[in-house]
Chain A
Amino acid sequence: GEDVEQSLFLSVREGDSSVINCTYTDSSSTYLYWYKQEPGAGLQLLTYIFSNMDMKQDQRLTVLLNKKDKHLSLRIADTQTGDSAIYFCAEISNTDKLIFGTGTRLQVFP
């Protein structure tokens, strides 16, 4: 079955880089996503990567994909207090459903 794992917590100092990691199991996923959830809110799509790509950069965000190891990461450069939130990676299953990771709570301190 599908299983998407993430570390639960990450704490960084403002201005540093944050790296959030994710491992997934469904090698047939064509797209992989990163979502951000602020308290009491829905999910905001941050970025996505197509499975035939190794890297994608979008302003402060860099996504790295290691398809062989089924490992996905999200790097946030120059992390700000407004980046404090829960970050979910997600893959599309072979039944065309979004499967979410367990979520990583990012805390940014001054």
Chain B
Amino acid sequence: GAVVSQHPSRVICKSGTSVKIECRSLDFQATTMFWYRQFPKQSLMLMATSNEGSKATYEQGVEKDKFLINHASLTLSTLTVTSAHPEDSSFYICSARGDRGRGGYTFGSGTRLTVV
């Protein structure tokens, strides 16, 4: 079945530094990938929709200069958290869309970001 690999699973960084999170579709091509953020004990909040070869579409309230998304190929999308602050600490999850008829939104395993 469809597999999405997300790395790293955990990262700790210092305030002011940048962190890159990768999301790869391993056995299918994903023209669209989604990035979510999840606070403890809360639901997933869609941050942006990433389309291969074009600029990402950000949800209202999400700073595009802070959360840089690149979708350079059909199998890779990256999220870079720039100039990270402790309030950016969260669980970030990517998702790639395959065939909806087969329940085709496949999720990565998530990245726990802690900014100290």
Using CB atoms and an 8 Å cutoff, list the residues of chain A in contact with chain B.
Answer: 30-31, 33, 35, 40-45, 47-48, 88, 90, 92, 97-103, 105
Contact = CB atoms under 8 A, between A and B. Distances in A.
B109 A92 contact: no
Interface residues of B, number: 20
Q: List the 7 closest A-B pairs by CB distance, nearest first.
A: A48-B103, A42-B109, A43-B107, A42-B110, A42-B107, A100-B44, A100-B43
Interface in B65-116: 91, 93, 95, 100, 103, 105-110, 112
Nearest to A93: B46
Nearest to A88: B43
A99 B34 CA distance: 11
Interface of B: 6, 34, 41-44, 46, 49, 91, 93, 95, 100, 103, 105-110, 112
A35 to B, nearest CB: 8
A103 B41 CA distance: 9
Contact of A31 (B42, B100, B106, B108): B100
Contacts of B95: 43, 98
Contacts of A40: 91, 110, 112
B6 A33 contact: no
B108 A42 contact: yes
Contacts of A31: 100, 103
7 contacts: A43-B44, A43-B107, A47-B103, A48-B103, A90-B105, A102-B43, A105-B41
Contacts of B46: 97-99
A98 B34 contact: yes
Contacts of A35: 107
